[in-house]
Amino acid sequence: MPYGFLDIAITPSVKAVQKRMGSDHVWQDFKGHRTFERFTADEEAFICARNSFYIASVSETGWPYIQHRGGPSGFLKMIDAQTLAFADFRGNRQFITTGNLTANSRVCLFLMDYQRRSRLKIYARVEALGLNDDPALTALVTAPEYKAKLERIFRLRLEAFDWNCPQHITPRFTEAEISQAVAPIQARMAELEAENAALRTKLDKLETNHD
């Protein structure tokens, strides 16, 4: 059974480097879980919680290009166990990724959860759709509350995925995550400030009565 992601990623040149560095034996007779051609509930939960990802494409001249895509949490939709889709919002109008995909439909996605130090890598083939090509899909990926110009839909057919280890991922937190974390501290501070104010008022009254 194929290992999936590494069957694509490990080319003869990669194998040569692995052999030179002494790590080729690690993957030669891999006996672990090998079902990486269909998303499970774990991947679905992770994907649907993301508000951004990185997408790598390759031009016809062989140069890679990596682009950040963002939107409201869950803007990358899981259509089924082997299909993703997302709304392509208007950006800087360079259309490098979109242009690359007309020559080569292969992409690699990196999805990051910096807070929990997790990352999911996805190999896929992408199809660009006009907004009227599949009205049901367009409706599914549209986020009316997100005020951005929608230009097209990208539908991704899964080839393979893999999870990375958390090594060297520096934890980072969004403004919303920080606000949630410090909310109890802010509430306690407000409580103490109110208590201090009440004590000051009481002390002022005692001093006034004493005078």
* pLDDT tens digits, 136-178: 999 999 988 888 888 899 999 999 998 887 888 888 888 888 8
68 in the same domain as 27: no
* Helix extents (H) in the chain: 5-9, 12-21, 25-28, 41-48, 96-103, 135-141, 175-210
3-class SS of residue 209? helix
- Residue range(s) defining the domain that contains residue 76: 35-164
Q: How confident is the model at residue 39 (pLDDT cuts 50, 70, 90)?
A: very high
Prediction pTM value = 0.79
Pairing, β 64-70 against β 83-89: unpaired
Domain count, the chain: 3
Q: Give the domain CATH number at 115.
A: 2.30.110.10
